[in-house]
Amino acid sequence: AARNESNFLATSLRYLDEQLLFDLLPRGSCPGDNDAPLDEFPELFTLEQLRSGWVVLHVFAAIYLFILLAIICNDYFLPTVECICEDLHLSKDVAAATFMATATSMPEFFTNTISTLILDSDMGLGTIIGSLMFNTLGVAGLAALAINKPVQLDWWPIARDCVIYIFNTIVLLVLAWGGSISFVESCIMMGFLVLYYLITFNNNKFMPAIRVFIEDRMNCCFSTRYDLTEPPENSAKAQLPLKKDPLSGDGLFVVNFPENTSSMSSTANLTHSKSWNGEDEPEDQRPESVFAYPHSASGFMKFWWIFVLPLKLMLRVIIPHPMRHRKLYPLSFIMCIITIGANAYLIVWMLTAFGVAIHVPTIVMGLTFLAAGSTMPEAVSSLISLRNGENGIGVSNSLGANSLAILLSLGVPWFIKNCINYGSGELQQVGTQGIEYNILILIVSTIALYIILSCSGYRLTKRVGVALFLVYAIFIVLQILIEMNVFFPLVCSS
């Protein structure tokens, strides 16, 4: 009797593990499908060892790699991109939407490239979708909660980048609606990628006319700085508390906000522009030494210094620092790309093992942990730029990175895969049949971002941060429910 009871218990547990739990796998996935991607990586531990507790080492390694990713992008990659912008004499708005956005999109690009070309897995796609959501709502919400006082944003970069991003998202929705991407469709995405750079680099040619039409003729929106000598008498701009900037020789007007609001004045803009273009920067801007121990810091900061010291020493050897070796920044740029690519491979490896060990589908891992980790460069750089008074870069960089995530991080790997399979006629499969609904959620989330910011007068406050994170939580739960077959159940064959 005891033996029969034991057999019944074992059979019941096996049924729960293989049927009820795996019924929650993504649409189009069945029991056993989730373990396949792990076969593409070196085997450090068997599946039984991972599920018996050794997966903790993978979790620790993934966290350490996320920290390494943030250090690479913010200490090496972004300063290298800044050197490129200085030599090309680019403005901050254009640089934020192009080179900076491209730089911070590299983790998603390499993750999806590895998943598409090597693993033939869904994790890269899930990472892109999850990072798009986090970039849209999470980055702005995190910045709003972390700033010390309200920050006034300019409506034009937000509106411009939201419109471009929604357009690119609609393009992705139309092309991916059938569940596959053909060679012609991937070429269309490459064409829109070139068009994005052309529009962004020519931003200053059409921006003044659009701003004048919306602000003066339609009496909509307002700005923190204007390039008009005098606002029209009956316009909404004329009702704002304007004053002439004494440092501007071309009649630049700025808005006087209350003292409790942090506005981006033209004086600060002018100062930062000079620094960005390298006109007023000190000749020797060497970063702090890696071996500078923080004697007066708190206990946690001392522990953190020791914790990240091996990473900083490794990067010190591998990548020439652009601030120490200014002429070697092209080499620094190439080494950053290689290092980020290797780091992305390791992150995918660690999190794939973690997902397989706890029966989490790879697409869900990509929507949550991997997406948040890969968007750390955008979050950190946006927060730093906002605290430094560069209000136009913070949100614009994340929205620009979203457009590049679609056209670059998704489009380029799909284009390469279709070129490889061109002779066979095989199409690049999107991977998840719920992607149409997830893309629709991305469009709605972008509209929600603009509505929240416009209702707040384009000011980042603590309340705005809470609202953005609340909407983000709602949308990410909807995405996971779609991927977990809650809305679209699939019956797997036994």
pLDDT, tens digit, 9 for 90 and up, residues 367-424? 676 666 666 667 766 776 666 666 556 666 777 788 888 888 888 888 888 888 877 7
- Band of pLDDT at residue 86, cut at 50, 70 and 90: confident
Q: How far apart are the C-alpha atoms of 162 and 298, rounded to whole Å?
A: 41
Quote the Cα angle for 294-148-458, to 5°: 140
User: 108: closest CA among 441, 432, 404?
Assistant: 404
Q: How far apart are the C-alpha atoms of 59 and 403, rounded to whole Å?
A: 30
pLDDT at 173 over 80: yes
pLDDT digits (tens, 9 = 90+) for 417-448: 888 887 777 777 775 556 777 788 889 999 99
pLDDT at 22 over 50: no
- Band of pLDDT at residue 268, cut at 50, 70 and 90: very low
pLDDT at 191 over 90: yes
pLDDT at 94 over 60: yes
pLDDT of the residue at 258: 42
pLDDT at 224 over 60: no
Output the pTM of the full model.
0.67
Which residues, in sequence order, are bridge partners of residue 243?
Answer: 254
- Band of pLDDT at residue 299, cut at 50, 70 and 90: confident
pLDDT of the residue at 5: 52
pLDDT of the residue at 400: 79
Q: Considering the domain 57-483 in this protein, what is its CATH number? A: 1.20.1420.30
pLDDT of the residue at 158: 82
Which of the pair, 273 or 490, is modelled with greater confidence? 490
Among 40-54, 107-121, 252-266, 306-320, the minimum mean pLDDT is found in 252-266
Percent of the chain with pLDDT over 70: 62
pLDDT of the residue at 126: 62
Which of the pair, 246 or 463, is modelled with greater confidence? 463
Across residues 92-111, what is the average pLDDT?
74
pLDDT of the residue at 369: 66
Other beta carbons within 10 angstroms of residue 172's beta carbon come to 28
Across residues 18-31, what is the average pLDDT?
41
Residue 23 phi, psi dihedral angles, 5° rounding: -65, -15
Which of the pair, 313 or 208, is modelled with greater confidence? 313
Positions of E strands within 223-337: 225-226, 242-244, 253-255
pLDDT of the residue at 438: 77
Across residues 302-315, what is the average pLDDT?
90
pLDDT at 35 over 50: no
Which of the pair, 209 or 304, is modelled with greater confidence? 304
Q: How far apart are the C-alpha atoms of 228 and 252, rounded to whole Å?
A: 6
Which of the pair, 317 or 176, is modelled with greater confidence? 317
pLDDT at 283 over 50: no
- Band of pLDDT at residue 21, cut at 50, 70 and 90: very low
Which of the pair, 491 or 60, is modelled with greater confidence? 60
Domain boundaries, the chain: 57-483
pLDDT digits (tens, 9 = 90+) for 123-161: 566 667 777 888 888 888 887 887 777 877 777 778 888
Across residues 201-228, what is the average pLDDT?
61
How high does pLDDT run on average in the chain?
A: 72
- Band of pLDDT at residue 225, cut at 50, 70 and 90: very low
For residue 466, CA distances in Å to 130, 140, 155 come to: 19, 10, 20
Across residues 259-271, what is the average pLDDT?
39
